[in-house]
């Protein structure tokens, strides 16, 4: 979803900047609920206040809700068929590619590759999340604290 949303709201509509988009994604990742809904709410609020937040959240939730209800009826009936399983096997790599694109998009704006502090925070967070069972929220909080220390207090 992130690459599609970024293309629509940043590059095409120009409602927010890349930096604002990344900041909103970071906030949406930290709050409960699906990222797309949180992102829609934040962007809607940024553009149109509370009415904008309500409209954009409804616009994201309603079509998905209708599609999921229809798909659930279809999937329940045909889930075990070889044809549908083949479709899912084809979709999985595409999902990984979309996640990779979202990663590159966010990394391009979030990590200053000339700034070792930025690279260090990203690398440490990645290693902790990959090789330990530390709660992601704790990593987010620690990364924010590290950013405060490294960019505001120490340097």
User: Using CA atoms, how far apart are residues 154 and 149, in angstroms rounded to an integer?
Assistant: 6
Q: What is the pLDDT of residues 105-134, one digit of tens each?
A: 778 777 777 788 988 999 999 999 999 999
- Whether 155 has a pLDDT exceeding 80, the answer reads no
- Nearest-5° Cα angle at 10, 104 to 33: 70
Residue 26 belongs to domain spanning? 2-84
Q: Which two three-digit tokens encode residue 43?
A: 């962007």
In a domain, 28, yes or no: yes
Q: Which two three-digit tokens encode residue 142?
A: 């620690």
In a domain, 144, yes or no: no
User: Using CA atoms, how far apart are residues 40 and 51, in angstroms rounded to an integer?
Assistant: 12
Report the pLDDT value the prediction gives residue 8, as an integer from 0 to 100.
Answer: 87
Unique residue bearing structure tokens 């084809």: 90
In a domain, 57, yes or no: yes
User: Using CA atoms, how far apart are residues 59 and 139, in angstroms rounded to an integer?
Assistant: 32
Q: What is the pLDDT of residues 56-96, one digit of tens each?
A: 999 989 998 999 899 888 888 887 888 888 998 999 999 99
Host H or E run for residue 104: helix 82-110
Number of structural domains (the chain) is 1
Report the pLDDT value the prediction gives residue 38, as an integer from 0 to 100.
Answer: 86
In a domain, 7, yes or no: yes
In a domain, 107, yes or no: no
In a domain, 8, yes or no: yes
Unique residue bearing structure tokens 């209708």: 66
Q: What is the pLDDT of residues 13-49, one digit of tens each?
A: 988 888 888 888 888 777 777 888 888 888 899 889 9
Half-sphere exposure of 144 (CA within 13 A, CB side): 9
- Whether 104 has a pLDDT exceeding 90, the answer reads no
């Amino acid at each position: 979803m992130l690459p599609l949303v970024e293309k629509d709201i940043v590059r095409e509509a120009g409602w927010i900047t890349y930096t604002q988009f990344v900041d909103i994604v970071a906030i949406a990742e930290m709050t409960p609920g699906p990222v797309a809904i949180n992102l829609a709410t934040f962007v809607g609020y940024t553009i149109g206040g509370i009415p904008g937040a309500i409209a954009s959240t409804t616009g994201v939730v309603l079509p998905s809700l209708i599609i999921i209800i229809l798909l659930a009826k279809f999937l329940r009936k045909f889930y075990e068929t070889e044809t549908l399983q083949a479709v899912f096997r084809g979709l999985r790599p595409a999902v990984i590619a979309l996640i990779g694109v979202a990663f590159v998009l966010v990394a391009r704006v979030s990590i200053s590759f000339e700034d070792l502090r930025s690279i260090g925070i990203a690398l440490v967070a990645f290693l902790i999340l990959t090789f330990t069972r530390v709660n992601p929220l704790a990593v987010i909080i620690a990364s924010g604290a590290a950013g405060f220390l490294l960019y505001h207090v120490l340097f």
